[in-house]
């Protein structure tokens, strides 16, 4: 199964802190570079079933009993 490499949970809602710790800063850096290259800040689009953009990252989802949402029904 593939999972969201930018967020703190995989698509089943299972935490993957090492993946998030490694990849979230890379996403922020890439988006920051695009801002600089284009000369304007990025405008996040609307939220989707899978999440919402916040700044140069992804909004933290609701956490219940240490797990994020199970999104596998839309894969």
What are 28-60's pLDDT values in tens digits?
Answer: 999 999 999 999 998 889 999 999 999 999 999
DSSP 72: G
CA angle 31, 36, 32 (to 5 degrees): 25
> For residue 73, what pLDDT is reported?
95
Question: Beta strands of the chain (E only): which ranges?
Answer: 53-54, 57-58
Q: Evaluate whether residue 72 is within a structural domain.
A: no
* Tally of structural domains, the chain: 1
- Report pTM: 0.79
Question: What is the Cα gyration radius of the chain?
Answer: 13
Type and span of the H or E element at 63: none
- Domain of 51 in residue numbering reads as 1-67
> For residue 34, what pLDDT is reported?
95
> For residue 6, what pLDDT is reported?
87
Size (the chain), residues: 75
- Helix/strand/coil percentages in the chain, nearest 5: 35, 15, 55
């Amino acid at each position: 199964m593939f999972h969201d490499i930018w967020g703190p949970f995989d698509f089943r809602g299972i935490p993957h802190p090492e993946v998030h710790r490694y990849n979230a800063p890379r996403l922020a850096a890439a988006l920051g570079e695009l801002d600089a290259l284009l000369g304007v800040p990025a405008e996040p689009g609307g939220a989707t079933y899978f999440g919402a953009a916040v700044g140069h990252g992804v909004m933290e989802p609701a956490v219940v009993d240490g797990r994020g949402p199970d999104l596998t029904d839309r894969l």
